[in-house]
Amino acid sequence: MEVGILTSIIEIDESFVEGSSEKIRSQVREYERGDRQAFDLEIATPDGILGDVMDAMAEIPYGETRSYGDLASALETSPIAVGQACGRNPVPILVPCHRVVGSDGSLNGYSAADGVATKRRLLEHEAREQKTVQTQLQTDS
């Protein structure tokens, strides 16, 4: 299924997702509006390195990034294997491969529509929304 987000169209293989197309689209719209930071959808991950990398990516908090090397160290594999698995992620956005960057912070690549431009927009969106959330928190004075 195709899902529009931040001026891009991203292909999501809904066979990996427990839930209707409308539920997926609704949650992506909430994410785009800044009303959702985590998806409430059951995602099936395949066996092997792709599933291992998808599980690791799913643990990266909203508004944060990890490097390919960070994930590779945790999974005892190579950064190249992690990058290849990120590129095969069948459910971008839902499993946030956009949060995986180079060790120097470079964006490197993104398999979804418009490539690195979409990855940049998603990371900037999360940074803006994260800042909005933080500034709305009351402090004890």
Catalytic residues: 97
> d(Cα 79, Cα 97) in Å, to the nearest integer?
14
Buried b (16+ CB within 10 A) or exposed e, 93-132: bbbbbbbbbeeeeebbebbbbeeeebbebbbebbeebbee
> d(Cα 94, Cα 138) in Å, to the nearest integer?
30
How many CB atoms neighbour CB 56 within 10 A?
19
The encoded tokens of residue 59 equal 């643990």
